């Protein structure tokens, strides 16, 4: 005799029922895919058996002597086909399961996302540093141009003074 099941307190959902918006887990998806393939295999097997039954019924109306031999051969062929189909299905399920297991885990994706965010932050910082450097260079370019202009003026004056000295030195004996 089993123990009586006590219902949950009023206003609370039963503990064994998930909310309708609960996300499916990877294992839920795997399990549902496997059961889908199993259901497909059973459906194909049932269809094949039904087709064989129809064929046998049709043949039994035609000739009854060759029916038993043909039924045996057809059943053997069907059994071989069914076994071959099951093997192929199992192989495909195994290959799919391996592929699914080889995919990246959520923790790996989170690590890559964290690293990508860090790289993006570093890139943003580098851009702001470059912008600051450009700003500093543009602020210093005006004084540099002024200095260059002053140096040119001084060189011109020195040249003028040298020319003046040479011309006054050559005219006086």
- The pTM of this model reads 0.30
Burial state string for 37-48 with b = 16 or more CB within 10 A and e = fewer than 16: eeeebeeeeeeb
Task: Name the band, by pLDDT with cuts 50, 70 and 90, for residue 173.
Answer: very low
Q: Is the pLDDT of residue 113 over 80?
A: yes
* pLDDT attached to residue 42: 95
Q: Would you kindly state where each structural domain of the chain is located, as residue ranges?
A: 26-102
Q: For residues 8 and 3, what is the distance between their CA atoms, to the nearest angstrom?
A: 15
- 120-159: pLDDT as tens digits: 999 889 988 888 888 888 788 888 888 899 999 999 999 9
Q: For residues 112 and 29, what is the distance between their CA atoms, to the nearest angstrom?
A: 24
């Amino acid at each position: 005799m089993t123990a009586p099941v006590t219902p949950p307190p009023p206003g609370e959902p039963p503990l064994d029922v998930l909310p309708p918006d609960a996300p499916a887990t990877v294992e839920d998806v795997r399990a549902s895919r496997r059961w889908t393939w199993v259901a497909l295999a059973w459906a194909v097997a049932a269809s094949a058996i039904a087709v064989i039954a129809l064929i046998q019924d049709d043949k039994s109306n035609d000739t009854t002597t060759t029916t038993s031999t043909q039924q045996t051969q057809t059943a053997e062929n069907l059994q071989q086909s069914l076994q071959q189909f099951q093997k192929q299905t199992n192989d495909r399920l195994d290959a799919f399961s391996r592929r699914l297991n080889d995919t990246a885990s959520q923790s790996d994706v989170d690590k890559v996302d964290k690293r990508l965010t860090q790289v993006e932050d570093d890139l943003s910082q580098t851009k702001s540093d470059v912008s600051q450097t450009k700003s500093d260079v543009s602020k210093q370019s005006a004084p540099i141009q002024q200095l260059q202009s002053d140096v040119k003026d001084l060189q011109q004056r020195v040249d003028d003074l040298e020319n003046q000295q040479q011309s006054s030195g050559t005219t006086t004996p």
